[in-house]
């Protein structure tokens, strides 16, 4: 038996959707993907936005045909809650790293901290940290950093919608951040420390929102493993259409069959008054997502991602 046929045999049919994991500290996002593959019996699992191993919180996983929807969700805004420690800098910009500098003078007060934080709201430039998965000439920066190398990294523009001080406890700032995808809260912490003249690093971090996925939906791995063993885990999947937030086109059975084979539809019944370029979640008569469709200038709906029926999971 070939490797490919063995893999196909392990693949279990089932529904598509999103599983929201509450990632614990000390494991990687890919560890959670591997765990979900075991729980659900499918290799078709991917995550929506990496969390650092020390970070915790909301990690949505796309399962089976929901992996086709990741491009529509991966740029969603995130919300983080964490603690910044002022006065100490580290080489990783967080508590996992080696201390590189310590401030010996007095630390800034609350009013000064709030003024400095306000300067980081809006469009800001960040230099990716050396201890990150960003690649330079195909090599992840963290591998270069482990060899004691530091290379030039071009800054990236990110958006910080809110940077709020929740509390000040000595050298520790409890904060909450709304930010665009690709924002490094570690860099935000280090840059704030430099702006305050005392340095700083990220002590703890928890993601409490990833786009439409909320902390209240997330379950820890041990709970999900128990539900998988009891055969209840697939009931936890968030249906594919729910997080998209697109207007919905309710198809007849005949229209759904046409779309599943890549066919277009006249838009008159589904998209009256909408402008070209709008994306729709096209649903079959049972309410299952059939496809993401785009309204074109010729007033036709064209499928851009077709999703298999829930009964087969692809």
State how far the alpha carbon of 123 is from the alpha carbons of 157, 179, 210, in Å.
7, 10, 19
Burial code (b: 16+ CB inside 10 Å, e: under 16) for 72-81 equals bbbebebbbb
Three-class secondary structure of residue 89 per DSSP: strand
Neighbouring-strand partners of residue 17: 63
| Token pair for 71 | 């491009």
Rg (CA), the chain: 23
Please indicate whether residue 191 is annotated as part of the active site: no
Question: Exactly one of 22, 31, 34, 52 is catalytic; which is it?
Answer: 52
Report the run of H or E that residue 293 belongs to, with start and end. Answer: strand 289-295
Residue 133 near residue 51 (C-beta atoms within 8 A): no
Q: Among 177, 207, 208, which residue's Cα sits nearest to residue 191? A: 177
Residues identified as active-site: 52
């Amino acid at each position: 038996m070939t490797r490919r046929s063995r893999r196909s045999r392990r693949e279990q049919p089932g529904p598509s959707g999103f599983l929201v994991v509450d990632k614990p500290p000390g494991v990687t996002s890919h560890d959670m993907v591997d765990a979900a593959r075991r729980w659900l019996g499918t290799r078709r699992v991917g995550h929506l936005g990496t969390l650092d191993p020390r970070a915790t919180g909301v990690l949505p996983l796309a399962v089976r045909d929901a992996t086709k929807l990741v491009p529509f969700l991966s740029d969603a805004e995130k919300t983080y809650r964490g603690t910044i420690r002022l006065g100490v800098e580290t080489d990783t910009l967080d508590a996992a790293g080696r201390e590189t500098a310590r401030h010996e003078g007095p630390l800034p007060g609350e009013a000064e901290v709030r003024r400095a934080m306000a300067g980081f709201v809006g469009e800001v430039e960040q230099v990716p940290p050396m201890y990150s998965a960003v690649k330079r000439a195909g090599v992840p920066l963290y591998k270069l950093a482990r060899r004691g190398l530091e290379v030039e990294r071009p800054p990236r523009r990110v958006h910080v919608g809110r940077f709020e001080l929740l509390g000040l406890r000595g050298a520790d700032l409890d904060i909450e951040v709304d930010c665009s995808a690709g924002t490094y809260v570690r860099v935000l912490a280090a840059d704030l420390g430099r702006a305050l003249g005392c340095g700083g690093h990220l002590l703890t971090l928890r993601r409490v929102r990833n786009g439409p996925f909320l902390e209240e939906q997330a379950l820890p791995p041990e709970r999900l493993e128990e539900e998988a063993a009891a055969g209840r885990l697939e009931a936890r999947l968030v249906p594919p259409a729910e997080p998209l937030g697109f207007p919905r086109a309710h198809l007849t059975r005949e229209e759904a069959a046409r779309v599943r084979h890549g066919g277009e539809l006249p838009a008159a019944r589904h998209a009256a008054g909408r402008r070209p370029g709008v994306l729709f979640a096209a649903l079959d008569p049972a309410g299952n997502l059939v496809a993401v469709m785009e309204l074109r200038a010729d007033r036709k709906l064209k499928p851009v991602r077709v999703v298999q029926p829930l009964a087969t999971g692809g």
